[in-house]
Amino acid sequence: MKKRYNRTIDKIMEKKHLNVVCAVVHDGDKILCTQRLRKGPIYIAEHWEFPGGKVKEGESDYEALRRELLEEMDWNVYVGAKLCSIEHEYPDFTIRLTAYDCMAHDNDFKLLAHIDSCWLKPEEFSKLKWTEADAALIKQLWK
Protein backbone atom coordinates (compact mmCIF):
# COMPACT_ATOMS: atom_id res chain seq x y z
CA MET A 1 0.00 0.00 0.00
CA LYS A 2 2.81 2.40 0.92
CA LYS A 3 4.61 1.73 -2.39
CA ARG A 4 1.48 2.51 -4.36
CA TYR A 5 0.96 5.73 -2.37
CA ASN A 6 4.57 6.83 -3.02
CA ARG A 7 4.21 6.20 -6.77
CA THR A 8 1.03 8.30 -6.79
CA ILE A 9 2.78 11.13 -4.93
CA ASP A 10 5.78 10.93 -7.30
CA LYS A 11 3.43 11.14 -10.29
CA ILE A 12 1.71 14.21 -8.80
CA MET A 13 5.06 15.81 -8.01
CA GLU A 14 6.38 15.39 -11.57
CA LYS A 15 6.29 18.71 -13.34
CA LYS A 16 5.47 19.05 -16.99
CA HIS A 17 8.41 20.32 -19.05
CA LEU A 18 7.71 22.72 -21.91
CA ASN A 19 10.03 23.58 -24.77
CA VAL A 20 9.11 27.13 -25.81
CA VAL A 21 10.53 29.45 -28.48
CA CYS A 22 10.21 33.21 -28.70
CA ALA A 23 10.93 35.92 -31.24
CA VAL A 24 13.09 38.95 -30.57
CA VAL A 25 11.77 41.20 -33.33
CA HIS A 26 13.55 44.51 -33.91
CA ASP A 27 12.18 47.72 -35.36
CA GLY A 28 15.21 49.98 -35.38
CA ASP A 29 16.46 50.08 -31.79
CA LYS A 30 13.15 48.86 -30.33
CA ILE A 31 11.95 45.32 -29.67
CA LEU A 32 8.41 43.93 -29.78
CA CYS A 33 6.89 43.06 -26.39
CA THR A 34 3.50 41.35 -26.05
CA GLN A 35 1.15 41.04 -23.08
CA ARG A 36 -0.37 37.65 -22.29
CA LEU A 37 -4.11 37.10 -22.04
CA ARG A 38 -5.96 37.19 -18.70
CA LYS A 39 -6.03 33.40 -18.46
CA GLY A 40 -3.82 30.70 -17.06
CA PRO A 41 -1.90 30.74 -13.79
CA ILE A 42 -1.86 34.09 -11.99
CA TYR A 43 1.95 34.16 -12.11
CA ILE A 44 1.92 34.48 -15.92
CA ALA A 45 -1.54 35.88 -16.78
CA GLU A 46 -1.33 39.44 -18.14
CA HIS A 47 2.46 39.45 -17.85
CA TRP A 48 4.65 40.56 -20.72
CA GLU A 49 6.65 38.24 -22.95
CA PHE A 50 8.36 38.00 -26.29
CA PRO A 51 5.90 36.45 -28.77
CA GLY A 52 6.19 32.74 -29.47
CA GLY A 53 4.95 29.45 -28.09
CA LYS A 54 5.39 25.74 -27.48
CA VAL A 55 7.37 23.47 -29.79
CA LYS A 56 5.30 20.43 -30.81
CA GLU A 57 6.79 16.95 -30.97
CA GLY A 58 8.64 16.42 -34.25
CA GLU A 59 8.74 20.16 -34.98
CA SER A 60 11.93 22.21 -35.23
CA ASP A 61 12.29 25.44 -33.25
CA TYR A 62 12.16 27.40 -36.50
CA GLU A 63 8.95 25.69 -37.65
CA ALA A 64 7.34 26.19 -34.22
CA LEU A 65 8.17 29.88 -34.06
CA ARG A 66 6.87 30.59 -37.56
CA ARG A 67 3.69 28.56 -36.83
CA GLU A 68 3.07 30.27 -33.47
CA LEU A 69 3.46 33.78 -34.91
CA LEU A 70 1.10 32.93 -37.78
CA GLU A 71 -1.48 31.44 -35.39
CA GLU A 72 -1.25 34.07 -32.65
CA MET A 73 -0.50 37.19 -34.70
CA ASP A 74 -1.26 36.39 -38.34
CA TRP A 75 2.30 37.51 -38.97
CA ASN A 76 4.92 36.02 -41.25
CA VAL A 77 8.46 36.55 -39.94
CA TYR A 78 11.94 35.42 -40.87
CA VAL A 79 13.48 33.38 -38.05
CA GLY A 80 17.19 34.04 -37.79
CA ALA A 81 19.94 33.00 -35.41
CA LYS A 82 19.44 31.49 -32.00
CA LEU A 83 20.25 34.11 -29.35
CA CYS A 84 20.17 32.09 -26.12
CA SER A 85 18.20 29.61 -24.00
CA ILE A 86 17.25 29.61 -20.34
CA GLU A 87 15.63 27.04 -18.04
CA HIS A 88 13.07 28.21 -15.51
CA GLU A 89 10.95 26.44 -12.92
CA TYR A 90 7.40 27.60 -12.23
CA PRO A 91 5.23 26.14 -9.44
CA ASP A 92 3.59 23.57 -11.73
CA PHE A 93 5.87 23.26 -14.77
CA THR A 94 9.39 23.85 -16.02
CA ILE A 95 10.27 25.67 -19.20
CA ARG A 96 13.16 25.82 -21.61
CA LEU A 97 12.79 29.18 -23.35
CA THR A 98 14.88 29.76 -26.47
CA ALA A 99 15.04 33.18 -28.14
CA TYR A 100 15.64 33.75 -31.85
CA ASP A 101 16.56 36.93 -33.68
CA CYS A 102 13.65 37.58 -36.03
CA MET A 103 12.85 40.03 -38.79
CA ALA A 104 9.51 41.05 -40.26
CA HIS A 105 8.80 42.73 -43.58
CA ASP A 106 6.19 44.92 -41.89
CA ASN A 107 4.62 45.53 -38.49
CA ASP A 108 1.15 44.65 -39.69
CA PHE A 109 0.30 41.96 -37.12
CA LYS A 110 -2.89 41.19 -35.20
CA LEU A 111 -3.21 40.46 -31.49
CA LEU A 112 -5.13 37.18 -31.67
CA ALA A 113 -3.68 35.69 -28.47
CA HIS A 114 -2.42 38.77 -26.59
CA ILE A 115 -4.12 41.79 -25.04
CA ASP A 116 -1.49 44.40 -25.85
CA SER A 117 1.86 45.03 -27.50
CA CYS A 118 4.49 47.72 -27.52
CA TRP A 119 7.92 48.45 -28.96
CA LEU A 120 10.57 49.24 -26.35
CA LYS A 121 14.31 49.76 -26.11
CA PRO A 122 15.97 47.17 -23.85
CA GLU A 123 16.66 49.86 -21.23
CA GLU A 124 12.87 50.44 -21.05
CA PHE A 125 11.98 46.78 -20.36
CA SER A 126 11.80 47.42 -16.60
CA LYS A 127 8.57 49.40 -17.17
CA LEU A 128 6.74 46.11 -17.81
CA LYS A 129 5.81 43.18 -15.58
CA TRP A 130 7.48 40.26 -17.39
CA THR A 131 6.95 36.54 -16.94
CA GLU A 132 9.77 35.16 -14.80
CA ALA A 133 11.16 33.13 -17.71
CA ASP A 134 11.22 36.14 -20.04
CA ALA A 135 12.80 38.26 -17.29
CA ALA A 136 15.58 35.66 -16.97
CA LEU A 137 16.01 35.71 -20.74
CA ILE A 138 16.29 39.50 -20.72
CA LYS A 139 19.03 39.31 -18.08
CA GLN A 140 20.89 36.81 -20.23
CA LEU A 141 20.55 38.78 -23.47
CA TRP A 142 21.11 42.31 -22.17
CA LYS A 143 23.67 41.87 -19.38
The parts of the chain modelled with pLDDT lower than 50 are 5, 8-9
Which of 96, 116, 117, 19 shows the shortest CA–CA distance to 63? 19
Q: What number of helices (H) and strands (E) belong to the chain?
A: 3, 7
pLDDT of residue 43: 82
Return d(Cα 61, Cα 58) in angstroms, integer.
10
Residue 89, strand partner residues? 94
